[in-house]
A and B are shown apart, each in its own frame.
Chain A
């Protein structure tokens, strides 16, 4: 289990930023009340939407997953646009003062729209990669391919989309994310929680309860949503700025 090292709270301590591997700092929300409110509403909205769609998801996985992609994309886009600093926007400026912050949003709406689009494209491209990863983790390969692809699309919108929105395509940053060494914030925390939740979601499948919801990929997607929300909350608050250490 990855544990969190309290020693490396690098973001809070500016001195540690001198270490080359740990230059990155956690993402801060946009400094306005709207962003703060939306970021609290966002998980509630996601979970209640998921809860409402759950019966039809169990009954009819493919159409439900497919039809809920657009609403999910809208929720994520709104959340990203209203709460998160887009990549390329001067992170330092955002951090430095609240005065500039409000301006920033108004400054570059077209740039942010482009970032949103770019994030969508990368999420779409990452979907087959995530599906491949799911198959490596034991997803059925000869059957259920649409299920796996659609659940990967959901995973991509939950994790890849906000990550690309805030980090862009910075190779170094992405290597840090891939080795789970990025400082924890609500975006990265949500992504880690989402994957962990999806992995733990496989646990009830072998039980002999013979419930309809034990079928592929219901538990995985449920775990992913629950993990995402939990990871996001923990990342934005409890463990913010810390890093995951394995040794």
Chain B
């Protein structure tokens, strides 16, 4: 087949990849339409809406406040516990649905709806306006619409992004550094006394981040800061409670203390483990003693974190509605928490609250299910086959038997029936919250299949001319696709790559032993080193689900051997420096080019030291600590910008100067070194030595004299295994955001996105660049005789990507009703989007072909 046609098929396949991904995604993560506009009180036959017991609300969110942090015997919330015991506080466990990260949780709390999984992406692309709640009905919008007071907000600026121009007085804090336990909370607390003195507001939102940071840093059990932080939060609760009890202007104020999500025992969140989905929820006011006689506090230990009674997080919205006197937000799927019904002695009021709640949910439900419209049976509902018809039938029964007055003998029974119905409809709506568009799923898969077919044609000649050589590659592609159906292999994907990579490296040793290109002793030495490096890389970061948090090199060993860490980091910088100094900037003399390289390295090192001092001060020790002591004053953003600009200038110079200066020079090597320096800058200090290990591996592999197919196979395997070695996994919680804001001061979604990608896909990007050098070497060796080296390489990689994509899509379609779809397969789909669009299309295809083309010019 003519090379031109092959290239055409390859291009077609790569164009089809994003189409397949986006089509499938739009069917898999359907955009949820919402009813717009603010809810109004309906005119019902039962008179005007019931009187609200409260007129002001203090909504205090403590990020990652797991239920046991407040309720258990080991808690630091002692005065809150005494409020619970006295009845002035009513405790709940508020179930948070997956994904348990801040932005979707705030959406659930404020709108009462269940946000779609797409919000995970939007949580990272924070400035995206489509995720804003400005036009949606929320309890904040309702409080604002009352025009009874100002809105104030202190704490996590996610609220400010979700509610632009909502608040009258604000001070947003952002969580740039999870090592910041105190400053981030003091910035909130310092406003509290002043605001408690003001009487012009009716809504005060406080969002404390410190406790979440402590969890991320050291986990809930190990950190010595956890209990002091809980005491600090407890102090704020009692400060507000004191004010509520004594100040006249605050006597009808409701304080709500809650977590947006919990955390697991490693201190992370995002998934659906019991710890992550069980935040605390406490309603506090002196007035609550009217309806509560108190609860046992501290509570007995609960293994599953279900303390007191469990409600849904979305139940907060309608409950606040009744307590503060505004209609239930339009898209709400929450149910009024019945514990509070006793606030209304008039039973007619109770009927009304539940009926209004039910009618509002019904309007959401009717938009989805037509069974609720029109007539139908209202008796013997249990005989209906369909649970939706059954609920519709129950509803007609409930409407017909609304008690005329509180004296109705059936009153209690009716209250029970409607509460049960509300819970059932809530469950129904949350399970069907994702209506998959199956036709789009099928189209997406069909397009992926066409892409796979088309890339198979492009790769066909390469494969068939060397069927045996390419069989490992084919086997990897097929087994990877099949593996996507097993949830444990998706969770523990790293094992597959480590397992296959080690075997492949062993096979390379055996193959090279046969070729006898190197002396067998030298070959043995280099192969064993490659394997040893691989073994260390495997253990660098414990990743996956089962063993996450177990001892490893990055988080356990280096914390105990800081000098060793910094020695390794220094060696990495020195390796890069010597390579740049000896091979780069050839038009300068040796001294000058060494000076340039040293300047670059110095800028990078000082930034990294300053960054680590902020991000993980516990790692600083010895010389590193001394060095950071000397140079303060320049902000981190500026330092990062200096590094990026210096790298950019060096890169531009290298590319430009080599054009005019034709000679066999190591330009591409210099570009690789500059890219590596960028990758080092975007890595956490504990991961930097990994790049040194990869450089050693690359140096040794380059001498093995590999064929094209062997290079592609090695590249694929090392790209994936290095991703996991750097701590990546298929869980949302493993996305490392620590380097996402390097050099960015505002919210630039493109810059933050690129930096996040680079800092999470460091290993794969390194290996793309290294592969390019191997391919150029091969091209050089064959003297240009072998045509289309890069096209063949890309055809193989595209074949893997389309095969993997097809597998992931098929697994997501087949298992879409599976229990793990939200916890395992949806995150996996997001990851395979990043792999296919980011790592494959942008890095391997885009960056790779640009580098190969550049290298071809210099040859």
Binding site for B on A (CB under 8 A): 1-3, 135-138, 141-142, 175, 178-181, 199, 202-203, 205-208, 245-247
B531-565 residues with Cβ-Cβ distance < 8 A to A are 531-532, 534-535, 538-539, 544, 546, 551
Q: When chains A and B are docked, how far (Å) is the Cα of A245 from the Cα of B467?
A: 11
Q: When chains A and B are docked, how far (Å) is the Cα of A178 from the Cα of B523?
A: 13
Q: Which of B488, B503, B507 sits near A208, CB closer than 8 Å? A: B488
**Do A246 and B469 have beta carbons less than 8 Å apart?**
yes
**Do A247 and B492 have beta carbons less than 8 Å apart?**
no
Q: When chains A and B are docked, how far (Å) is the Cα of A207 from the Cα of B539?
A: 19
**Do A207 and B511 have beta carbons less than 8 Å apart?**
no
- The interface residues of chain B lying within 8 Å CB-to-CB of A208 are 487-488, 491, 546
Question: 3 closest A-B pairs (Cβ-Cβ)?
Answer: A206-B492, A208-B488, A179-B513
Asked if A138 meets B531 with Cβ closer than 8 Å, knowing A3-B468, A208-B487, A247-B466, the reply is no
Asked if A206 meets B532 with Cβ closer than 8 Å, knowing A245-B468, A247-B511, the reply is no
- The interface residues of chain A lying within 8 Å CB-to-CB of B502 are 136-138
**Do B487 and A1 have beta carbons less than 8 Å apart?**
no
- Shortest Cβ gap from A149 to chain B (Å): 17
- Shortest Cβ gap from A243 to chain B (Å): 10
**Do B538 and A138 have beta carbons less than 8 Å apart?**
yes
- Shortest Cβ gap from B488 to chain A (Å): 4
Q: Which residue of A lies closest to B551 (CB)?
A: A142
**Do A246 and B511 have beta carbons less than 8 Å apart?**
yes
B471 on the A face (CB < 8 A): yes
Q: When chains A and B are docked, how far (Å) is the Cα of A202 from the Cα of B538?
A: 15
Interface residues on B, range: 35 or more
- The interface residues of chain B lying within 8 Å CB-to-CB of A199 are 499, 503
Instruction: A136-B534, A137-B503, A246-B510 given; name 12 further pairs at CB < 8 Å.
Output: A1-B472, A3-B468, A136-B532, A136-B535, A175-B513, A179-B511, A199-B499, A203-B499, A206-B492, A208-B487, A245-B468, A246-B514
- The interface residues of chain B lying within 8 Å CB-to-CB of A138 are 498-499, 502, 535, 538
- The interface residues of chain A lying within 8 Å CB-to-CB of B528 are 136
Q: When chains A and B are docked, how far (Å) is the Cα of A199 from the Cα of B535?
A: 15
B489 on the A face (CB < 8 A): yes
Asked if A207 meets B466 with Cβ closer than 8 Å, knowing A1-B472, A136-B531, A181-B514, the reply is no
Asked if A246 meets B498 with Cβ closer than 8 Å, knowing A136-B532, A136-B535, A138-B535, the reply is no
Q: When chains A and B are docked, how far (Å) is the Cα of A202 from the Cα of B520?
A: 29
**Do B535 and A206 have beta carbons less than 8 Å apart?**
no
- The interface residues of chain A lying within 8 Å CB-to-CB of B469 are 246-247
- Shortest Cβ gap from A20 to chain B (Å): 12
**Do B510 and A180 have beta carbons less than 8 Å apart?**
yes
Q: Which residue of B lies closest to A142 (CB)?
A: B551
B518 on the A face (CB < 8 A): no
- Shortest Cβ gap from A171 to chain B (Å): 10
Q: When chains A and B are docked, how far (Å) is the Cα of A199 from the Cα of B505?
A: 14
Asked if A179 meets B531 with Cβ closer than 8 Å, knowing A1-B471, A138-B498, A208-B546, the reply is no
Q: When chains A and B are docked, how far (Å) is the Cα of A1 from the Cα of B495?
A: 19
- The interface residues of chain A lying within 8 Å CB-to-CB of B492 are 206
- Shortest Cβ gap from B742 to chain A (Å): 34
Q: Which of B503, B513, B538, B539 sits near A178, CB closer than 8 Å? A: B513
> Which of A3, A138, A141, A175 has the most chain B CB atoms closer than 10 A to its own CB?
A138
- Shortest Cβ gap from B50 to chain A (Å): 50
Q: Which residue of A lies closest to B471 (CB)?
A: A1
B475 on the A face (CB < 8 A): yes
- Shortest Cβ gap from B622 to chain A (Å): 26
B486 on the A face (CB < 8 A): yes
Q: When chains A and B are docked, how far (Å) is the Cα of A70 from the Cα of B493?
A: 39
Q: Which residue of B lies closest to A140 (CB)?
A: B539
Q: Which residue of A lies closest to B512 (CB)?
A: A179
Q: Which residue of A lies closest to B489 (CB)?
A: A206
Q: When chains A and B are docked, how far (Å) is the Cα of A43 from the Cα of B499?
A: 28
- The interface residues of chain B lying within 8 Å CB-to-CB of A137 are 499, 502-503, 506
Q: Which residue of A lies closest to B472 (CB)?
A: A1
**Do B468 and A246 have beta carbons less than 8 Å apart?**
yes
Q: Which residue of A lies closest to B467 (CB)?
A: A3
Q: Which of A1, A142, A178, A203 sits near B510, CB closer than 8 Å? A: A178
- The interface residues of chain B lying within 8 Å CB-to-CB of A141 are 535, 539
- Shortest Cβ gap from B694 to chain A (Å): 17
- The interface residues of chain A lying within 8 Å CB-to-CB of B491 are 208
- Shortest Cβ gap from A172 to chain B (Å): 11
Q: When chains A and B are docked, how far (Å) is the Cα of A202 from the Cα of B551?
A: 21
- The interface residues of chain A lying within 8 Å CB-to-CB of B475 are 1
**Do B546 and A175 have beta carbons less than 8 Å apart?**
no
Q: Which residue of B lies closest to A247 (CB)?
A: B469
Asked if A206 meets B546 with Cβ closer than 8 Å, knowing A1-B471, A1-B472, A3-B468, the reply is yes
Q: When chains A and B are docked, how far (Å) is the Cα of A202 from the Cα of B539?
A: 17
- The interface residues of chain B lying within 8 Å CB-to-CB of A142 are 551
Mind listing 25 A-B residue pairs with CB under 8 Å? A1-B471, A3-B468, A135-B535, A136-B532, A136-B534, A137-B503, A137-B506, A138-B499, A138-B502, A138-B538, A141-B539, A178-B510, A179-B510, A199-B499, A202-B495, A203-B499, A206-B544, A207-B486, A207-B488, A207-B489, A208-B491, A246-B507, A247-B466, A247-B468, A247-B511
**Do A179 and B488 have beta carbons less than 8 Å apart?**
no
Asked if A206 meets B495 with Cβ closer than 8 Å, knowing A136-B532, A175-B513, A247-B511, the reply is yes
- The interface residues of chain B lying within 8 Å CB-to-CB of A175 are 513, 520
Q: When chains A and B are docked, how far (Å) is the Cα of A207 from the Cα of B551?
A: 21
Q: When chains A and B are docked, how far (Å) is the Cα of A135 from the Cα of B536?
A: 11
- The interface residues of chain B lying within 8 Å CB-to-CB of A206 are 488-489, 492, 495, 544, 546
Q: When chains A and B are docked, how far (Å) is the Cα of A16 from the Cα of B498?
A: 39
Q: When chains A and B are docked, how far (Å) is the Cα of A202 from the Cα of B513?
A: 26
B595-613 residues with Cβ-Cβ distance < 8 A to A are none
Q: When chains A and B are docked, how far (Å) is the Cα of A247 from the Cα of B708?
A: 12
Q: When chains A and B are docked, how far (Å) is the Cα of A206 from the Cα of B707?
A: 33
Q: When chains A and B are docked, how far (Å) is the Cα of A203 from the Cα of B496?
A: 8
Q: Which of A3, A178, A179, A205 sits near B471, CB closer than 8 Å? A: A3
- Shortest Cβ gap from A42 to chain B (Å): 28
- The interface residues of chain A lying within 8 Å CB-to-CB of B487 are 208
Q: When chains A and B are docked, how far (Å) is the Cα of A203 from the Cα of B482?
A: 13
The interface bits of chain B over 683-711 (1 if a CB of A lies within 8 angstroms of the residue's CB, else 0) are: 00000000000000000000000010000
- Shortest Cβ gap from B529 to chain A (Å): 11
Q: Which residue of A lies closest to B505 (CB)?
A: A136
- The interface residues of chain A lying within 8 Å CB-to-CB of B544 are 206
